[in-house]
């Protein structure tokens, strides 16, 4: 398996624009997590899904952020409208049955810069 | 949800053994202890996990005392490539209730030649 795949790797956008980050989890995994990492706040859990259903979105900073998982192999994190303070590295991770659910596999991340 | 406390940073030299201790005084009966490693510009990577006593793999050892209120990650004979941030997590398998995969501030390990 190629691991968790995120796209794009880098995104530069202007304030006010819509940004969509994409994630393909490891096949067979039933948990998917979205994180945001900044120097100031570290790794923050934004939302996680189990079997494509959002379980906890309490970490989503505000209504400008939304996440979907239309099927087991794809998830998106959307920011609309984007703001400079959204600049961060966004990670997607997945975890599967047969393993402890605290063993998650992370993607390479998407570095988002909002100017 | 069990909270973890780790040193913010540690320094070591190549070839030395490094021990990073994590405190988790409120650990619950169902909680496991997991350590992750993160290199710059990469996502965290699972290192080791345990419930009690000692666990060893090809990368590290994890020591957990009987009361499970702390744990120690031991890296034998570190090299420059072990320079990274190490995170201690405590969580229930299955994410029951409010348990989630929550990362603390981590310990920044710097290995010098």
Any B CB within 8 A of A38 CB:
no
The residue in chain B having the minimum alpha-carbon distance to the alpha carbon of residue A101 is B93
Structure tokens at A40: 């100031």
How does pLDDT run across A12-24, given as a tens digit for each residue?
999 999 999 999 9
Query: What's the rounded mean pLDDT across residues B92-113?
Result: 75
Q: Is the dihedral of CA B37, B43, B48, B49 positive or negative?
A: positive
Angstrom CA distances, A75 to A63, A83, B26, B31, B52, stand at 18, 22, 34, 28, 35
Beta-carbon separation of A102 and B91 below 8 A: yes
Classify residue B96 as exposed, middle or buried by CB count within 10 Å of its CB (0-12, 13-18, 19+).
Answer: exposed
- Whole-number pLDDT of residue B98: 44
Strand B31-38 and strand B84-92: pairing? antiparallel
CA distance A111 to A13: 11
Those of residues 54-93 in A touching chain B at CB distance below 8 A are 55-56, 91, 93
Among the partner residues B34, B94, B101, nearest to A45 by beta-carbon distance:
B101
Higher pLDDT: B19 or A43? It is B19
- Whole-number pLDDT of residue B16: 97
Among the partner residues A33, A93, A100, nearest to B49 by beta-carbon distance:
A100
A31 near A104, Cβ under 8 Å? yes
Band of pLDDT at residue B2, cut at 50, 70 and 90:
low
CA distance B95 to B13: 38
How does pLDDT run across A50-59, given as a tens digit for each residue?
899 998 898 9
Q: How many CB atoms lie within 10 A of CB B42?
A: 15
- Whole-number pLDDT of residue B30: 81
Task: Tell me the chain A residues in contact with residue B42 when contact means C-beta distances shorter than 8 Å.
Answer: 106, 108-109
User: Does the pLDDT at position A49 exceed 50?
Assistant: yes
Beta-carbon separation of A50 and B44 below 8 A: no
Beta-carbon separation of B95 and A109 below 8 A: no
User: Does the pLDDT at position B101 exceed 80?
Assistant: no
| Mean model confidence pLDDT for chain B | 89
B101 min Cα distance to partner chain A (Å): 6
CA distance B108 to B38: 9
Dihedrals phi, psi of B57, to nearest 5 degrees: -135, -170
């Amino acid at each position: 398996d190629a691991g968790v795949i995120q796209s794009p790797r880098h995104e530069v956008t202007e304030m006010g624009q819509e940004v969509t980050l994409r994630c393909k989890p490891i096949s067979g995994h039933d948990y998917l997590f979205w994180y945001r990492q900044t120097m100031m706040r570290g790794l923050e859990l934004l939302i996680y899904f189990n079997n494509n259903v959002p379980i906890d979105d309490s970490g989503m900073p505000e209504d400008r952020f939304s996440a979907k998982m239309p099927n087991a192999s794809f998830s998106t994190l959307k920011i609309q409208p984007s703001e400079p303070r959204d600049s961060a590295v966004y990670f997607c991770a997945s975890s599967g049955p047969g393993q402890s659910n605290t063993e998650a596999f992370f993607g390479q991340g998407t570095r988002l810069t909002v100017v | 949800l069990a909270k973890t406390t780790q040193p913010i940073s540690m320094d070591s030299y190549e070839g030395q053994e490094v021990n990073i201790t994590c405190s988790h005084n409120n650990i619950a009966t169902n909680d496991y202890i997991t350590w992750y490693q993160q290199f710059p510009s990469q996502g965290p990577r699972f290192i080791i996990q345990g419930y009690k006593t000692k666990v060893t793999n090809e990368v590290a050892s994890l020591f957990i005392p009987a009361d499970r209120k702390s744990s120690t990650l031991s890296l034998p004979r570190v090299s420059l490539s072990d320079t990274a941030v190490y995170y201690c997590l405590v969580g229930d398998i299955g994410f029951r209730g409010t348990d989630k995969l929550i990362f603390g501030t981590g310990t920044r390990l710097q290995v010098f030649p």
